[in-house]
Amino acid sequence: MTPQELSAALARIVTDVVGARGLDLVVTDSDTQVERPKNRDHGDWASNVAMKFAKRIGVNPRELAQEIAAAAEGIDGVAKAEVAGPGFINLTLDAASAGETARRVVEQGEQYGRSTVLAGHRINMEFVSANPTGPLHMGHTRWAALGDSTARVLRAAGAEVTNEYYINDAGAQMNKFGRSVLAAALGEDAPEDAYPGAYIQTLGERVRAQLPNLPELAAADRDAALEQVQELAYQLQLAEIKDSLERFNVHFDVYYSERTLHTPGPDGAPSPIEAAIDRLREQGHVFEEDDAIWVRTTEFGDDKDRVFTRGNGIYTYFAADAAYYLDKMDRGFTEKIYLLGADHHGYIGRLTAIAGAAGDDIETGISVLIGQLVNLDGARLSKRAGNIIELDDLLEWLGADALRYWLARYPADSPLALDGEKLRSRSNDNPVFYVQYAHARSCAVARNAAAAGIDRSAFAPELLTHETETELLGKLQQYPGIVAGAAELREPHRIARFLEEFAAAFNRWYDSCRVIPLGEEPVTDLHRTRLWLNDAAGQVLRNGLDLLGVSAPERM
């Protein structure tokens, strides 16, 4: 029996108790959630539901708890229900019911822990979205790990999620990038505002190799040469960004070009930005003043109204942001999640105001998550970029698994200082090693059991009575709720912290309970049943690591 099933059973009981008293109260599973008691002598699960409802019903909490507990003893799989303190209800499962979880995990495999709590949610998850003018750096690394892990957890809860990278490929920064690469390709001195770093020289060499007539073209038509160089360098740099992300095990479903927002439609149709102005004007949110077009975003909590375009006809970044948001709405996303860097707090009000002006529900249609900075002791500035720490260098130094796990292990809004050597260490002080090693250990137990002729041909869950088995089974039961909670709160770090607790419980069980008998002891159904428990533990470790984008090695 899972905690969710127990909560549902308690909700039915409380509904009956309330109804018998002639009261019309709605009791849901969220009202009757159970928790693991800190003192295991108090049972497997505990509920404070009696104290929640006693005042509304008009009875003493302990009296109500006694009534609920008496009925709870009739729940299939509950061995005992006792009242403690002012009205807590402590529930003890029978061994067979608790042990049955091991079989359920093994049989469900990769699906164990997945649910439909967010079914029907169509979510656009935008993150990283770095300018394609240079390599990804350490700041992007954190947003990549958090964004991808959040999306995986949301999918595990039944949501339909699209990972999207917004390519800022329009505007002044792209022109500056093009001029920098053109100068490098022609062997000229770098412009005064050029992008720094040896990677610009490398791009220049690659461009020159693909455009052998570049010097002649530049001499005849500098603007035409700049246009070709800028486009080619952009495509080369974007390809490198995509490759770095894939090696980091971060996958995007859509790479959305900002330039398309400025491009007119077929047969003279307006561009998406122009169409956005028209739509917002029809809804009464656009006004003109001081030779500029404005959107009245203060109506939706923004600190000031925003300019769409000034008299020079050049659209602002806000105009592109608004058109992009409307495009996401038109693609049918019920929620738009933005994961932005620490210097983007001003975007919260701006993006929320766009959502409101577009007619979206600002309470449910948009979420803006701000990630804090990360520093990594021992990391070296990139030899290619010079002034940044590149993702590629971090991958070479630390590996994708260590980076993914540690970056997803903390809430997005907490500043993060990491010790590079600790991330590299193969010791129990390194959480990713600790969790992965627990998984490898479960695989070793399974291999050794097979060699000893032990299989899962028998399953007797009532035999799993050792205290470490009870603890491990309880952790197995908790896992689906942990995943659902992490999804609803958009907090993948809850998965990592659970895995560390789970690995510790597994190791305590491993030290105390044998799957393979000692010496000449015969193989019994207890050993076969423990193999089920071992394999269930390995499955949960594997499933949890996958939600963090981290591998689950079978040998270490």
Query: Any idea which of 241-250, 366-375, 423-432 has the lowest mean pLDDT?
Result: 366-375
Structure confidence at residue 524 (pLDDT): 97
Q: How far apart are CA 404 and CA 416, in angstroms?
A: 14
Q: Residues 502, 508, 513, CA angle at the centre, nearest 5°?
A: 120
Q: Compute the distance between CA of residue 149 and CA of residue 408 in angstroms, rounded to an integer.
A: 7
CB 359 within 8 A of CB 285: no
> Would you state the pLDDT for residue 383?
64
Q: How far apart are CA 263 and CA 270, in angstroms?
A: 8
φ, ψ at 370 (rounded to 5°): -100, 120
Please write the tens of the pLDDT for every residue from 139-157: 899 999 999 999 999 999 9
CA 369 – CA 493 distance, rounded (Å): 14
Closest by Cα among 367, 338, 352 to 298:
352
In the chain, CATH 3.30.1360.70 covers 3-93
In the predicted structure, residue 381 carries a pLDDT above the cut 70: no
Average pLDDT on 313-333 reads 93
Is 428-547 a domain of CATH 1.10.730.10? Answer: yes
Q: What's the fold here for domain 3-93?
A: Gyrase A; domain 2 (3.30.1360)
User: Amino acid letter at 182?
Assistant: L
Q: What's the whole-model pTM score?
A: 0.90
pLDDT by residue (tens digit) across 439-472? 999 999 999 999 999 999 999 999 999 999 999 9
Lowest mean pLDDT among 34-48, 117-131, 410-424, 521-535: 34-48
- pLDDT of 267 higher than 90: no
The stretch 419-448 carries a mean pLDDT of 96
Neighbouring CB atoms inside 10 A of 70's CB total 13
Residue-wise pLDDT tens digits, 183-229: 999 999 999 999 988 999 999 999 999 999 999 999 999 999 999 99
Question: Please, are residues 255 and 167 in contact by the beta-carbon 8 Å criterion?
Answer: yes
Q: Closest by alpha carbon to 159, among 149, 167, 168, 151?
A: 151
d(CA 65, CA 520): 51
If you average pLDDT over residues 503-526, what whole number do you get? Answer: 96
Residues forming a β-bridge with 166: 256
CATH 1.10.730.10 residue ranges for the chain: 428-547
Convert the pLDDT of each residue in 54-64 to its tens digit. 888 888 999 99
Whose structure tokens read 């002012």? Answer: 86
pLDDT at 482: 96
**394 with 379: CB under 8 angstroms?**
yes
Q: Which pLDDT tens digit goes with each residue over 287-305?
A: 999 889 999 999 998 889 9
- Residue 399 gets the label, from left (phi > 0), alpha (psi -120 to 50) or beta, of left
Cβ atoms 468, 475 nearer than 8 A: no
Alpha helices, DSSP H only, in 358-466?
A: 391-398, 400-408, 420-424, 431-451
Q: State residue 4's pLDDT score.
A: 86
Q: At what angle do helices 400-408 and 391-398 cross, to 10 degrees?
A: 110
Decide: 83 and 66 in contact? Cβ < 8 Å: yes
What is the chain's mean pLDDT, rounded?
93
How crowded is residue 44: how many other Cβ atoms within 10 Å of its Cβ?
26
pLDDT mean over 242-253: 97
| Res 114: pLDDT | 97
Q: How far apart are CA 492 and CA 147, in angstroms?
A: 9
Tell me which of 6-10, 113-117, 183-187 is least confident: 6-10
Give the model's pLDDT for residue 312: 80
* pLDDT of residue 436 exceeding 70: yes
Structure tokens at 32: 């009757």
Q: Kindly tell me if the per-residue pLDDT of 396 is higher than 90.
A: yes
Question: Is residue 523 within 8 Å of residue 453, measured between CB atoms?
Answer: yes
Residue in this structure with the two tokens 């002639």, named with its chain if needed: 22
Q: In the predicted model, what is the mean pLDDT of residues 5-14?
A: 91
